Amino acid sequence: MSWIWILPALLITALVGVFYPVFSRRGGDPLPAGLEGDPGQELAARRDGLLMQLKEIELEGDPDPISRASRVSLEQELAELLPRLDALEKTPAPTASRGAMLATATPKGPLDIAMAIGVMLFTSLLAGLMYLLMGTPREIAPASGQAVTSRDIAIMVEQAAQRLKSTPDDIPGWTRLARSYVVMDRPDDAMAAYAHILTRQPDAVDARVALGELELQSPDPLKNRGGIDRLQALLTQHPDHPEALWLLGGAAFRAGERDKALSHWTRLKSLLPADSQALKTVEQAMAQAGAP
């Protein structure tokens, strides 16, 4: 028996886990209090960051291969993020308490269970037929003109990193390298690249903000403290820098310093256009921090 028949079996097992809530009377229960979070605010902040990075790449003009690869990754992530954000914005916020929602939860009926079983069987059958028709992955020849893969991007980034070692003053190149590391979820390498930029241009505002943001996201408390100090020093020189105000407000909020968070976000709010999505995001954050 070919090993290929194992794959539909594994798929059925996975689908059972996915559709198990349909068979449960508590499948529609809300999360326990305190676990709901605010995914809309996080997605909106990520969307704004992606749009900013894409705009910077566009303004640079005549992009090199590493910039083109980074742009592909950014656009792919943005395309996946926007429908999720749109769905969240169209979903009304729940107002009932957890107890009330549990009391009114509707048990799953026979039709729901039948539909779930049908989807599972159809998906498993379709997967088996596709494997029979296409063969094992080793038998599938790669299509010509395929899209840039993550491995392609990694190779181009490493080649660029090697070239930049011989051109330490190529600040645009180091900036593209740092952004690529961010896209590839390699924060330590990104921080090292931004730190290199600051050894050459200590007053580079964008690099200071980007490095400060990465330090705030680090699990290392010492780096967190360094990011706060870095951004506070930047605010001393540029009191109305929007990204620094936003990041320091978030750091203060997470530390339980709500007054300090509101102070930063109130200043940021006064700088934003009245019809901007960024203003709505800031107002949501302020409301979460207890603003009247």
User: Is 264 contained in some domain?
Assistant: no
pLDDT at residue 17, as a whole number: 60
Whether residue 228 is contained in a domain is answered as no
Residue 114 is part of which domain span? 1-30+96-140
Alpha-carbon torsion angle 186, 188, 190, 195, nearest 10 = 180
Query: Residue 90's pLDDT is what?
Result: 61
User: Structurally, how many domains does the chain consist of?
Assistant: 1
The chain-wide mean pLDDT, for the chain, equals 74
Is residue 113 domain-resident?
Answer: yes
3-33 b/e (C-beta count within 10 Å ≥ 16 → b): eeeebbeebeeebeeebeebeeeeeeeeeee
Mind listing the pLDDT tens digit for each residue in 25-81?
Answer: 444 445 444 444 566 667 667 776 766 666 666 656 555 555 666 666 666 676 676
The dihedral through the CA atoms of 124, 128, 134, 135 has a sign that is positive
In-domain check, residue 38: no
Evaluate whether residue 181 is within a structural domain. Answer: no
Tell me the residue type at 287.
A
Whether residue 186 has pLDDT greater than 60: yes
Residue 179 reports pLDDT greater than 80: yes
pLDDT at 100 over 80: no
Tokens, residue 182: 């961010």
Asked whether residue 87 carries a pLDDT value surpassing 90, the answer given is no
Residue 189 falls inside a structural domain: no
Quick one: pLDDT at residue 191? 96
Mean pLDDT of 281-285: 90
Residue 84 is assigned to a structural domain of this protein: no
11, part of any domain: yes
